[in-house]
Amino acid sequence: MKNTCIHVDSLLPGGRRAGDIKVGDIIQLGDQSTPGLETRAGLVTHSSKARTRAFKMVTASGTRLLCSETAAIWTDEGFVLAPHLLGKNVATRVDNDDIVIRFFETVEVLAEIGTIDVQRITVGDRGFWAGANPGRFVLHLGHLGQ
């Protein structure tokens, strides 16, 4: 799972784009060790671009993520690599006005999409929220190593 990464245009909570994240930034993490996937803050210690083979996943409610084939996504079974997410229940976050809802939902679409530009973001060994739709995210494990 060393090269786990997301599409450069992926959005993070607050509307920031993955490709704009820099070392020293603080981003929102989802604490997979807590039942409610509580929000934590994390310091970005590495951020770099790369090109890699990728997948698109879409959940039952339409939450989407474009990510590397080595991306690890938090499920009710632990972290699962992107190519194996079909039918898995992934940690999902929906931000509506002042309300943040976190829950698990099923991946209904999984497709290889070729090679894309990705951003490798490290926040220790923690997961952070990212997605292709504004206000809709899945919990993705940060890049491990440089």
Domain limits, the chain: 6-141
Q: Cβ(3)–Cβ(100) under 8 Å?
A: no
CA gap 53, 42 in Å, rounded: 27
Nearest of 122, 109, 133, 117 to residue 29 by alpha carbon: 122
Reported pTM: 0.92
CATH superfamily of domain region 6-141: Hedgehog/Intein (Hint) domain (2.170.16.10)
CA gap 63, 106 in Å, rounded: 10
Give the pLDDT confidence score for residue 1 in this predicted structure.
Answer: 43
Q: Cβ(40)–Cβ(123) under 8 Å?
A: no
Largest CA distance in the chain: 37
**pLDDT tens-digit map of 17-64:** 999 999 999 999 998 888 888 889 999 999 999 999 999 999 999 999
**pLDDT tens-digit map of 93-106:** 999 887 888 999 99
Residues 6 or more apart in contact with residue 94 via CB below 8 angstroms: 61, 63, 100, 101, 135, 136, 137
